Amino acid sequence: MLSFASDYIEGAHPAVLEELMKTNLDPQPGYGEDEYCRSAAEKIRRACGAPRADVFFVSGGTQTNRLVLSAILSTCEGVLSPVTGHVNGHEGGAIESTGHKVLALPHRDGKLDAETVRAYLADFYADKDGCRHMVQPGALYLTHPTEYGTLYTKDELTALRQVADDYSLLVFLDGARLGYALATPGTDVTLGDIAQLTDCFYIGGTKVGALLGEAVVFPRGNAPKHFFTHIKQQGALLAKGRVLGIQFDALFTDGLYQKIAENAVRQADRVRAALDELGIPLAVPSPTNQLFPILSNDEAAALSREVVYTFWEKADEGHSVIRLCTSWATSDEKTDALIEVLRRILGGR
């Protein structure tokens, strides 16, 4: 079976494994105080153009979202998110378990629109007495790429930042797949832009070449007071923090993080071209490593016998939207095999 189910189904990039092996017997302090975490953090600061940034390493995306939002929100605050946001739909109530409500808003292909956010906030505060009894908006949650593989432009992020500033909201960007956003041709959003336009973001490693791990960045040295202790309290502080630091040190050496992400986007472009050739419509115009073809239910069933994919949603009673996902590790040969299967199963349309 070919698997294009997600971008975390492979292990780690060989350069990451090589560094883990090379440093394996080197005794180092625990809890992220080792030389590799320090080196990785400094490389991330340089890549972001944020010399004062606070950088923390944690093991997974849901864990990161829970940690950050529970630390930056007061007890009566919630977080604005597109209804498709990972914190709203696929984290088992992780945010709600900390006592914070997810305030879900309409989206456009997974993206929040600045005017939608502004309209929501204006309506919320219009009832000056009633809004005091409600969960207060405290932060804005974005993902880049979105759950639909779409990208914000710099103008869109700037407009959202302005709305957040107008209403005193913090901006938190989920970068679980950030490498694929940065590597997509034509994007005008850089890592430096993200550092300037957010209060906190994270750089995903789990889906982009690491065995596990995310790098949490507070770009202006603005980490909440006692954030390290907050990580400890939540059971998210690894004694062997070096395991995360070594991986990010490798990924941020000689531009490796973006180089390997470019492969995923290139392979997705090949699949995208094959689907277009076959006349298969896409539910979302995603330019990144996630593709969302619309297939008849019979076609989806036939494809499932040879390819592992993710069912996304029903398009209608007779059609399904599926997700095909490439990764940093997807080879030309694997993509060739997928395209051959697609042509054989879907070529009779």
Q: Do 221 and 266 fall into the same domain?
A: no
Q: What is the pLDDT of residue 256?
A: 98
Which of 99, 42, 93, 69 minimizes the C-alpha distance to 230?
Answer: 69
Q: What predicted TM-score, i.e. pTM, was given to this entire model?
A: 0.96
CA dist 293 and 277 (Å) reads 13
Residues 122 and 155 in one domain: yes
Q: What is the pLDDT of residues 214-227, one digit of tens each?
A: 999 999 999 999 99
Same domain (yes/no): 71, 202: yes
* Alpha-carbon distances of 206 from 29, 106, 139, 148, 222, rounded to whole Å: 23, 28, 25, 18, 25
The tokens describing 344, both together, are: 């054989």
Q: Quick check: 348 pLDDT over 90? A: no
Region 42-60: what's the mean pLDDT? 98
149 shares its domain with 263: no
pLDDT given at position 347: 87
In angstroms, the Cα distances linking 193 to 47, 154, 156 are 11, 7, 12
Mean pLDDT of the chain: 97
How far apart, in whole angstroms, are the C-alpha atoms of residue 320 and residue 312?
A: 8
Give yes or no: residues 182 and 69 share one domain: yes
Q: What is the pLDDT of residue 129?
A: 87
Per-residue pLDDT, 309 = 98
5 vs 130, which has greater pLDDT?
5
Residue 252: closest CA among 9, 56, 37 = 37
Query: What CATH number does the domain containing 140 carry?
Result: 3.40.640.10
Return d(Cα 30, Cα 116) in angstroms, integer.
45
Q: Which among 254, 283, 318 is the end of a domain?
A: 254
Amino acid at 162: Q
CA atoms of 178 and 257, how far apart (whole Å): 10
Q: Is 8 exposed, middle or buried (0-12, 13-18, 19+ CB in 10 A)?
A: buried
173 shares a domain with 317: no
**Given a cut of 90, is residue 306 above it in pLDDT?**
yes
* Residue 325: CATH number of its domain: 3.90.1150.10
Coil/strand/helix, residue 3: strand
Residues 240, 262 within the same domain:
no
**Do 210 and 293 belong together in one domain?**
no
Domain boundary among 235, 254, 273: 254
Domain ranges, residue 216: 14-254
Mean pLDDT of 126-140: 94
Residues 262 and 244 in one domain: no
How many domains is the chain built from?
Answer: 2
Looking at 137-241, list the stretches that DSSP marks H as alpha helix, in order from N- to C-terminal side: 154-166, 178-182, 191-197, 227-233
Residues 239 and 108 in one domain: yes
Distance CA 282, CA 321 (A): 8
> Residues 257-269: pLDDT tens digits?
999 999 999 999 9
Measured over all CA atoms, what is the biggest interatomic distance in the chain, rounded to whole angstroms? 63
339: confidence class by pLDDT, cuts 50, 70, 90: very high
> Do 278 and 294 lie in a common domain?
yes
The pLDDT, as a whole number, for residue 40 is 98
Q: End of a domain among 239, 254, 269? A: 254
Taking only the tens place, the pLDDT of each residue in 227-252 is 999 999 999 999 999 999 999 999 99
Q: Are residues 132 and 168 in the same domain?
A: yes
Alpha-carbon distance of 206 to 307, in angstroms, equals: 22
Task: Give the pLDDT confidence score for residue 349 in this predicted structure.
Answer: 63
